[in-house]
Amino acid sequence: MLIDSHSHLQFSQYEDDIDTVIERSFKNGIDYIINVGTNYEDSIKSVELADRYDNIFTSVGVHPHDSAKMSESEFNDIVELLNMKKVVAVGEIGLDYYKCYSPREVQKEIFKKFLNLAENKNIPVIIHNRAASEDIKKIIYKESNGRLIGVMHCFSGDEKFAKDMIKLGFYISFAGNITYRSFKNEEVIKSVPIERILIETDCPFLTPESKRGERNEPLNVWFVVEKIAQIKDLSFKVVERITSENACKLFGIE
């Protein structure tokens, strides 16, 4: 069994051939896809997509890039979407101090709001973090009552941060960028127990090295399995099985 735990198939890059992309993935060993919302409109699109495919689940949320644009009524509508049966997470939410498309203070405020919502509703969070590890940690320590669970998507922090997040009950997710020749963080992957790892494509972005230049798609999550198996000196089968079990457990998929 294999799961792509983070894709964005609602994006315009798939407008013309979405069903072909999905069928190609399911025919070639991908069992489930967690499709991830990034703002109000595309969360709705993602919910619609999950309604069309039994094996696609979705999150709903607002990416830090879009947090300054979110209105109060959109937030309330997203709360409503959590009642839909294919919605398994709140996300992606978080902080991005690298691009900083929304002011930091707004990002933090919206992040807190979604964390509280997720914890109250007992639903996991999918967290985006770029150059903001310290504030992410600080906010979670402060806001969480200890019931919050989730995943650090496309992990880019150091070993210490990974360890701290695991202690808080989080999974650590790796994407296609771990296959890049320029990738320097193998020690972090070695340090995270396989029982806490999820894998993802983050498609259409982060196409694995051997396909670079092409649009990414869920099928390419195989390259991430391969790389993790190699770095951790585990068999392909073990990485496939355990990361899938992890994702099922986190998102409540049976």
CB of 89 to Ni ion, least distance (A): 12
* 3-class DSSP assignment, residue 63: coil
Closest residue to Ni ion, judged by C-beta, is: 202
CB of 235 to Ni ion, least distance (A): 28
Nearest to 247 by CA among 36, 3, 1: 3
Q: What angle do CA 156, 67, 57 make, to 5 degrees?
A: 70
- Judged by beta carbon, residue 18 or residue 238, the one nearer Ni ion is 18
Print the binding letters for residues 6-45 with Ni ion: x by CB under 5 A, - otherwise. ----------------------------------------
CB of 96 to Ni ion, least distance (A): 11
**Across the strands, what pairs with 93?**
127
- Judged by beta carbon, residue 195 or residue 214, the one nearer Ni ion is 214
- Judged by beta carbon, residue 42 or residue 202, the one nearer Ni ion is 202
- Judged by beta carbon, residue 119 or residue 202, the one nearer Ni ion is 202
Q: What angle do CA 57, 168, 147 make, to 5 degrees?
A: 65
Strands (DSSP E) along 73-211, which ranges?
A: 87-96, 125-130, 150-152, 170-174, 197-199
Straight-line distance from the first to the last Cα atom of the chain, in angstroms, rounded to the nearest whole number:
12
Print the binding letters for residues 185-204 with Ni ion: x by CB under 5 A, - otherwise. -----------------x--
Return residues touching Ni ion (CB under 5 A): 202
